């Protein structure tokens, strides 16, 4: 647009006078971002129609009124990251891969005051890197930015990232933030960051002395700190004192004071950072010389995750291997093994370090303990959260065979029955686990007769690939299409007279379709049960079978029966829910089947059954 056209637009709408510079920037060749249509490039200007012609990513050749664009579109300068990606994609790709902090520095230079919010940075990165890939990249880059002297990283997500005029070292930045806060919790956290960054550097010894004093005061006097935070702070305080060669005996409370109360030690440990939990065990031993063994076993009993291994290692390092072995066996006999400790046992059963300690426990009664613990966890939890021990039993295909190695048929049948009654497994998972029992003890098959054999699998059986596609579609509708549609409705509403506004009517129709699809996906995803088709056999047709049929004329046709969302008729892939798929389930070679489609009956004979996973692997 030339000067005369800009003046004509302003003459028609005097309120646009303040936006003259922005109108002048709307020149062909320039790139832009529109609130609704996203990133694009101005291609031309139609003087007769007074409309800009813009190529957006999903809307090429879109015609727009320049006056309307003033409030809804940003014209990007040549140095903007999105423009650079279009004009020199190799350079931007190199920054993304090899110089992530430089990319953010360049991005910050584009904003007034060289500062912008986390939300704005994420908005640009989503366009430059991709809406999914950027999240992992940005998480890693933020850790690098925390150590970059050029950038001030906000302590809260709502703060601004600022490009400094002069670089500031990480240590100086932490010290500055420490001195500016009065929060005891924040001071403990910043003191830990300073310790990790290198508090023993000679150049920060002077401010470190002041920090030591205020930190010691906060630990002694603050009511904001929990017992775990005080203990963590006291360790940091003592570490600072050693760096400064200050006598730690002058400080109160001492470390021993903070673990003097026996009750509540498990809660204290649970709140401690994982890198300090072993340190806490050593402190308990030092502070309770007559009781530390009993206390450690009690902590082990209630432990989970990495702390379980920490407790075991601590007991072994203190020559308590035989006591530990005896205690684990006693807890098993008393049905006192908790789910996290059982998970540790099964995961370490083949470990060189711990194998001898727990090898005697790898027998059928441990499987009974596992079922008991899973059932207990399921009954205690009102939510549908995953139970790690149940996942381990399902994922580790050697675990059931290992545990049943010394079992007899009667014991195996009792355990299989316990599995069928367990509240912690979905029906599909139960059948998968029972297949492992049946492989070792064929007599267990009788448990599936009668009512069990007729029982239908609840929910939708789906492949992981189709499930991930459904999730991706749901996320796109939820995070992209619905917000875009809302913006389109808002913009169409601005054009006035909704009765005659075709854009508004179309946008509202799109909204109904989108929300309907979103609701259906939500419902189906909640019912979905993912399978890898590994558990299907080749004796009878199941979900994951490749079936060869012979029709009444002697012609062969092969169908692959997969999950509810896997249909691909062009390649003879059908869902188990289709009339043909449902009719074929449980059929064996030689069986005849009548399939009714569109009121027409067709006769087929099952000629062959193969496993889909075997053919894929081949």
- What Cα–Cα distance (Å) separates residue 121 from each residue in 79, 132, 150? 16, 14, 16
Query: CA–CA separation, 479 vs 486, rounded Å?
Result: 11
Residues across the chain: 618
**What pLDDT shows up at residue 160?**
93
Strand-pair partners of 592: 605
DSSP letters for 319-336: T-HHHHHHHHHHHHHTT-
Q: Kindly report which listed range (285-289, 340-344, 529-533) carries the lowest average pLDDT score.
A: 529-533
Q: Kindly report which listed range (20-24, 200-204, 362-366, 584-588) carries the lowest average pLDDT score.
A: 200-204
Query: CA–CA separation, 282 vs 317, rounded Å?
Result: 11
Q: 376-388 burial, b if ≥16 CB within 10 A, otherwise e?
A: bbbeeeeeeeebb
Whether 573 shows a pLDDT value over 80: the answer reads yes
Whether 450 shows a pLDDT value over 90: the answer reads no
SS3 letters across 447-462: HHCCHHHHCCCCCEEE
**What pLDDT shows up at residue 547?**
94
pLDDT above 90 covers what percent of the chain? 48
Residue 318: phi, psi to the nearest 5?
-105, 25
**What pLDDT shows up at residue 157?**
81
Whether 243 shows a pLDDT value over 80: the answer reads yes
Name the pTM for this structure: 0.52
* Structure confidence at residue 492 as a pLDDT band (50, 70, 90): confident
* Structure confidence at residue 379 as a pLDDT band (50, 70, 90): low
Query: CA–CA separation, 614 vs 471, rounded Å?
Result: 27
* Structure confidence at residue 457 as a pLDDT band (50, 70, 90): very low
Query: Token pair of 556, please?
Result: 């062969």
Q: Is 256 helix (H, G, I), strand (E, B) or coil?
A: helix
Residue-wise pLDDT tens digits, 28-72: 999 999 988 889 999 999 988 889 999 998 889 999 999 889 989
Give the residue-averaged pLDDT of 258-285. 90
Query: CA–CA separation, 164 vs 151, rounded Å?
Result: 6
Whether 537 shows a pLDDT value over 90: the answer reads no
Question: CA nearest 66: which of 55, 54, 50?
Answer: 50
**Axis crossing angle, helix 306-317 with helix 339-347, rounded to the nearest 10:** 70
Is it true that the peptide bond before 548 is cis, omega within 30 degrees of 0? no
Burial of 239 (0-12, 13-18, 19+ CB in 10 A): middle
**What pLDDT shows up at residue 520?**
82
Tell which phi-psi region holds residue 104, choosing left (phi > 0), alpha (psi between -120 and 50) or beta: alpha
Given the structure tokens 């109160």, which residue do they identify? 252
* Structure confidence at residue 429 as a pLDDT band (50, 70, 90): confident
Strand-pair partners of 603: 594
* 458 against 120, higher pLDDT: 120
Compute the 3-state secondary structure of the chain and give helix, strand, coil in percent, each to the nearest 5: 60, 15, 30
**What pLDDT shows up at residue 385?**
66
Q: Are 364 and 403 in contact (CB under 8 A)?
A: yes
* Structure confidence at residue 393 as a pLDDT band (50, 70, 90): very high
Whether 284 shows a pLDDT value over 90: the answer reads yes
Q: Are 104 and 161 in contact (CB under 8 A)?
A: yes
Query: Token pair of 501, please?
Result: 């506004």
**What pLDDT shows up at residue 229?**
92
* pLDDT averaged over every residue in the chain: 87
Whether 449 shows a pLDDT value over 70: the answer reads no
Q: Is 43 helix (H, G, I), strand (E, B) or coil?
A: strand
Residue-wise pLDDT tens digits, 306-319: 999 999 999 999 99
Whether 618 shows a pLDDT value over 60: the answer reads yes
**What pLDDT shows up at residue 548?**
94
Question: CA nearest 487: which of 17, 33, 76, 16?
Answer: 33
Strand-pair partners of 64: 52
Query: CA–CA separation, 214 vs 226, rounded Å?
Result: 18
**What pLDDT shows up at residue 121?**
93
* Structure confidence at residue 454 as a pLDDT band (50, 70, 90): very low
Query: CA–CA separation, 402 vs 115, rounded Å?
Result: 60
Query: CA–CA separation, 532 vs 465, rounded Å?
Result: 9
**What pLDDT shows up at residue 155?**
78
pLDDT above 70 covers what percent of the chain? 94
**What pLDDT shows up at residue 51?**
92
Query: CA–CA separation, 288 vs 299, rounded Å?
Result: 14
* 7 against 381, higher pLDDT: 7
Whether 455 shows a pLDDT value over 50: the answer reads no
**What pLDDT shows up at residue 453?**
43
């Amino acid at each position: 647009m030339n000067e005369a056209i800009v003046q004509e637009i302003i003459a028609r709408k005097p309120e646009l006078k303040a936006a003259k510079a922005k109108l002048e920037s709307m020149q062909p060749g320039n790139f832009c971002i529109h609130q609704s249509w996203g990133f694009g490039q101005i291609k031309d200007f139609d003087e007769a129609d007074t409309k800009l012609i813009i190529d957006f990513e999903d809307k090429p050749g879109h015609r727009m009124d320049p006056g309307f664009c003033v409030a809804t579109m940003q014209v990007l300068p040549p140095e903007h990251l999105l423009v650079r990606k279009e004009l020199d994609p190799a350079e931007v790709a190199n920054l993304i891969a090899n110089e992530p902090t430089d990319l953010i520095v360049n991005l910050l230079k584009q904003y007034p005051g060289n500062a912008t919010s986390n939300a704005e940075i994420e908005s640009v990165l989503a366009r430059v890197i991709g809406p999914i890939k950027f999240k992992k990249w940005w998480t890693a880059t933020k850790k690098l930015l925390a150590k970059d002297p050029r950038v001030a990283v906000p302590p809260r997500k709502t703060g601004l990232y600022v490009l400094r005029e002069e670089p500031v070292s990480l240590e100086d930045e932490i010290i500055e933030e420490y001195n500016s806060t009065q929060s005891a919790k924040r001071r403990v956290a910043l003191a830990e960051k300073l310790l990790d960054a290198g508090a023993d550097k000679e150049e920060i010894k002077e401010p470190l002395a002041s920090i030591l004093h205020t930190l010691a005061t906060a630990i002694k006097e603050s009511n904001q700190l929990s017992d775990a935070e005080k203990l963590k702070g006291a360790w940091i305080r003592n570490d600072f004192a050693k760096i400064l060669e200050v006598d730690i005996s002058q400080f109160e409370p001492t470390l021993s004071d903070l673990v003097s109360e026996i009750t509540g030690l498990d809660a204290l440990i649970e709140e401690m950072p994982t890198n300090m939990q072993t340190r806490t065990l050593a402190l308990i031993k030092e502070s309770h010389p007559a009781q530390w063994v009993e206390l450690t076993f009690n902590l082990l009993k209630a432990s989970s995750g990495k702390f379980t291994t920490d407790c075991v290692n601590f007991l072994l390092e203190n020559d308590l291997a035989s006591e530990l072995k005896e205690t684990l066996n006693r807890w098993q006999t008393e049905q006192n093994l908790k789910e996290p400790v059982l998970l540790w046992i099964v995961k370490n059963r083949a470990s060189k370090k711990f194998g001898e300690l727990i090898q005697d426990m790898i027998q059928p009664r441990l499987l009974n303990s596992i079922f008991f613990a899973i059932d207990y966890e399921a009954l205690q939890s009102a939510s549908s959260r995953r139970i790690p021990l149940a996942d381990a039993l399902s994922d580790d295909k050697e675990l059931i065979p290992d545990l049943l190695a010394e079992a007899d048929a009667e014991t195996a049948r009792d355990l299989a029955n316990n599995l069928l009654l367990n509240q912690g497994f979905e029906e599909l998972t139960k059948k998968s686990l029972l297949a492992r029992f049946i492989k070792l003890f064929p007599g267990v098959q009788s448990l599936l007769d009668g009512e069990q054999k007729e029982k239908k699998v609840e929910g939708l059986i789906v492949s992981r690939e189709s499930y991930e596609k459904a999730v991706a579609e749901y996320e796109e509708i939820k995070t992209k299409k619905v917000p875009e549609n809302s913006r389109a409705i808002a913009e169409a509403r601005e054009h006035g007279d909704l009765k005659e506004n075709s854009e508004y009517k179309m946008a509202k129709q799109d909204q109904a379709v989108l929300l309907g699809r979103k609701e259906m996906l939500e419902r189906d995803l909640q019912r979905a049960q993912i399978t890898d088709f590994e558990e299907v056999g080749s004796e009878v047709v199941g979900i994951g079978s490749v079936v060869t049929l012979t029709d009444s004329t002697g012609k062969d046709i092969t169908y692959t029966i997969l999950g509810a969302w896997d249909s691909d008729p062009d390649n003879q892939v059908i869902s188990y829910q289709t009339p043909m798929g449902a009719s074929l389930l449980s059929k064996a070679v030689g069986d005849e089947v009548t399939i009714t489609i569109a009121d027409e009956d067709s006769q087929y004979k099952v000629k062959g059954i193969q496993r889909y996973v075997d053919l894929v692997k081949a």
